[in-house]
Amino acid sequence: MTATLIWILVALVAVGLYLSWTAGRLDRLHARIDAARAALDAQLLRRASVAQELATSGVLDPAASIVLYEAAHAARQAEEEQREVVESELSQALRAVFAEAQQVEEVRAAPGGEEAARELTEAVRRVPMARRFHNDAVRAARALRRHRKVRWFRLAGHAPFPMAFEMDDEPPAALVDRAS
């Protein structure tokens, strides 16, 4: 009888340790999502800021400046619910403005244009990477949260279900090709 109680106690402790480890893993994944989202937000803000600076620099033609400025301004001012849409619109505006290599060369030829083009190139390259890191962390957390043990024992607590950030982040080909 005593041996049976000891084995039951050992099994309960083992299950408790396993559940504790799983809850800790889930907590680390949520922390990773938060860090990845902060990095993504920083890269999106950097891209919008550089695009807005370039739009107001006088280097671009007036129509391109207006299109780029409005898209960058909307991206910087967007509410969380509209963020994916306005960031996609900024990507589309960047592709429209820098559709041809000639436009990139005109920017580079202007005073201070080489640095502005380099900053914009870096910003448009980093956004897809930051978004991929964020979405990978979300995918891992979602996979763990789908397990029965996590749902049954409510190991996620009151943490909201992680959502991926889906947007059009295709960089302008003329801008990226020139930098390669």
Q: What is the pLDDT of residues 130-167, one digit of tens each?
A: 999 999 999 999 999 999 999 999 998 888 999 999 99
Closest CA to 55 of 84, 86, 83, 96: 96
Distance CA 121, CA 67 (A): 18
Closest CA to 150 of 21, 9, 58: 21
Distance CA 132, CA 130 (A): 5
Helix, strand, coil % over all residues of the chain, rounded to 5: 80, 0, 20
Q: What pLDDT shows up at residue 82?
A: 96
pTM of the full structure: 0.90
Query: What pLDDT, in 10s, does the model give residues 2-24?
Result: 999 999 999 999 999 999 999 99
